[in-house]
Amino acid sequence: MNRWFSSSYIEKSAIFLQDEEGVVTFNGIRCPKTDQQVYFSRNDKRLVEACKGIFCWTKEEYEFYKANSSNNYVWLTGNHRTSKLVKDDLRKSFHSEIETLNKDYGKVILFCSTFAQGLGSKGEFAKPKLAAEAEAEKYPAAIKWAYDEWRVHSHLAFFSFLDFVRLFIGSELKEEFKLVFRPHPSESSDFYRYLLQNIDFVEVDDRFSIEPWLEKSKIVIGSNCTTLVEAAVYGKPAISFLPRIGSKIDCVLKNLVPARFSLLAHSPDELSNHIKQLRSNTNCFSKKIENFHKSAKSFVGLPSDWRFIQAREILKYCPHTDFPRAI
């Protein structure tokens, strides 16, 4: 994308940026090798400063771009993904998809994959290929360190997930729930279908956008995944599955935004036990889940009058086009 932005196209177009994954960022953490802070871990600084304007999810993101870029057009607008998460509206907008999921499944535990960070499309370790990409894009050393560490974590978390599958199909949970594995959009569904074929009580399903799945699922699981924030906003129990690998990335991941609004599970056993607790009549997590819901809504939410003021300001800087009159 950086190379595309540097082409002559940027001279002829007004391009605005909103990062749909803007809450999954390593900004502010320090690389232990150099003590250098990580900045612009989601978007290259050149890209940010070339855009006509930046639309931000949250106050944290807004303040980061205001303080660390020379782009004068940074706006706090919220995000369309979380603005859609109103139960009545969602049920109406995704009625047919929800109806299909209700027909296909009973109770669902949804596991949202981010293993794409550690695995290529065919399941190989992705780090060598992505290291070449980092070299081509001239990533700063601190950002390269953060992503290298995350990819190693994602690779090992994949094997921990397989261990969790073993625990799931050997427990009473399988009698009540279907474990649905939702591949990341950048992943090969065929790889996971082949891997998990003939395992009863586990299904690979990449149909539909995330919204009907949030309505359908009883529990949502992920690893440093934006969907965990969306699940919390929607009021569903979310679990951050973050197996410890014995490096600084363990501490980094548990303090990033998705983990703020979800229960933490550091091993397959802990993940299994959390699920058992969530389904019990004496659920000790109910108050936590309620607090996650309130704090997540506050984190991504903006007053309607603020949105309106921001929209007017943004429109002032949008390019104007003269449309040809109909003959």
Per-residue model confidence (pLDDT) at position 2 = 56
Q: What is the pLDDT of residues 175-222, one digit of tens each?
A: 999 999 999 988 889 999 999 999 999 999 999 999 999 999 999 999
Other beta carbons less than 10 A from residue 225's beta carbon: 25
**Dihedral, CA of residue 292, residue 233, residue 270 and residue 203, to nearest 10:** 170
d(CA 182, CA 242): 17
Residue range 249-300, pLDDT digits in tens = 999 999 999 999 999 999 999 999 999 999 987 889 999 999 999 999 999 8
Average pLDDT over residues 4-10: 52
Q: Are 261 and 299 in contact (CB under 8 A)?
A: yes
pLDDT at 203: 97
Would you say residue 3 has pLDDT above 50? yes
The answer to whether the CB of 263 falls within 8 A of the CB of 240 is yes
pLDDT score recorded for residue 8: 42
The mean predicted confidence, pLDDT, of the chain is 88
- Neighbouring C-alpha atoms within 13 Å toward the C-beta of 146: 25
Q: Report pLDDT digits (tens) over 96-120.
A: 999 999 999 999 999 999 998 888 7
pLDDT (mean) for 140-149? 88
Task: Sheet with 53-56: list strands edge to edge.
Answer: 16-17, 53-56, 74-76
Q: Beta strands of the chain (E only): which ranges?
A: 16-17, 53-56, 74-76, 107-112, 177-182, 202-204, 217-222, 238-241, 263-265
Sequence-distant (6+) residues with CB within 8 A of 147 are 26, 41, 117, 130, 134, 139
Q: What is the band of 320 on the pLDDT scale with cuts at 50, 70, 90?
A: low
- The pair of structure tokens assigned to 195 is 């891997």
- Amino acid 138: pLDDT: 80
Query: Which of left, alpha, beta for 81 (phi over 0: left; psi -120 to 50: alpha)?
Result: alpha
DSSP letter, residue 202:
E
Mean pLDDT of 39-44: 88
What is each CA distance from 233 to 152, 215, 253, 293, in whole angstroms? Answer: 29, 12, 20, 5
β-pair type (53-56, 217-222): unpaired
Q: To 10 degrees, the CA torsion angle through 223, 224, 226, 229?
A: 90
- What confidence tier does 32 reach under pLDDT thresholds 50, 70, 90? confident
**pLDDT confidence of residue 80:** 82
- Of 11, 18, 4, 5, residue with least CA distance to 314: 18
Asked if 265 contacts 271 with a C-beta cutoff of 8 angstroms, the reply is yes
